[in-house]
């Protein structure tokens, strides 16, 4: 098996679904923080916890976007189709 074909197969079967799952997880974590922040307007500690969830959700989303960018650079080096 050629290296290009192996990388394309790993990308389409393992990496793309994993990136999608982790990206969705980061978005859900962010939205959980928003919900926690909105529903607990009277409790400062719960608002702070919600704010932290939102910050970490944004950090997770940013990391996943960076991973997608780096992966697309690697894939373009091997002349393979980019991540969607």
Give tens-digit pLDDT for 12-64.
Answer: 888 889 999 999 999 999 999 999 999 999 999 999 999 999 999 999 999 99
6 in any annotated domain? no
In the predicted structure, residue 80 carries a pLDDT above the cut 80: no
Residue 53 placed within a domain: yes
1: pLDDT strictly greater than 70:
no
| Residue 4 lies inside a defined structural domain of this protein | no
In whole angstroms, give the CA distance from residue 76 to residue 63.
20
- CB of 40 within 8 A of CB of 47? yes
Task: Let me know if residue 80 belongs to a domain.
Answer: no
Query: Is 32 a member of any domain?
Result: yes
- pLDDT band per the 50, 70, 90 thresholds, residue 6: confident
Residue 16 neighbours by CB under 8 Å, 6+ apart: 83, 84
What is the model's pLDDT at position 84? 66
Q: Look at residue 82 in the predicted model and tell me its pLDDT.
A: 73
């Amino acid at each position: 098996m050629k290296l290009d074909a192996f990388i394309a197969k790993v990308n389409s079967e393992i990496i793309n679904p994993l990136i999608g799952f982790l990206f969705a997880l980061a978005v859900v974590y962010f939205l959980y923080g928003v919900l926690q922040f909105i529903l607990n307007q009277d409790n400062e500690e719960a608002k702070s916890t919600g704010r932290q969830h939102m910050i970490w959700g944004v950090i997770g989303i940013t990391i996943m976007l960076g991973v997608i960018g780096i992966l697309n650079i690697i894939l373009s080096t091997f002349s393979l189709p980019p991540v969607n």
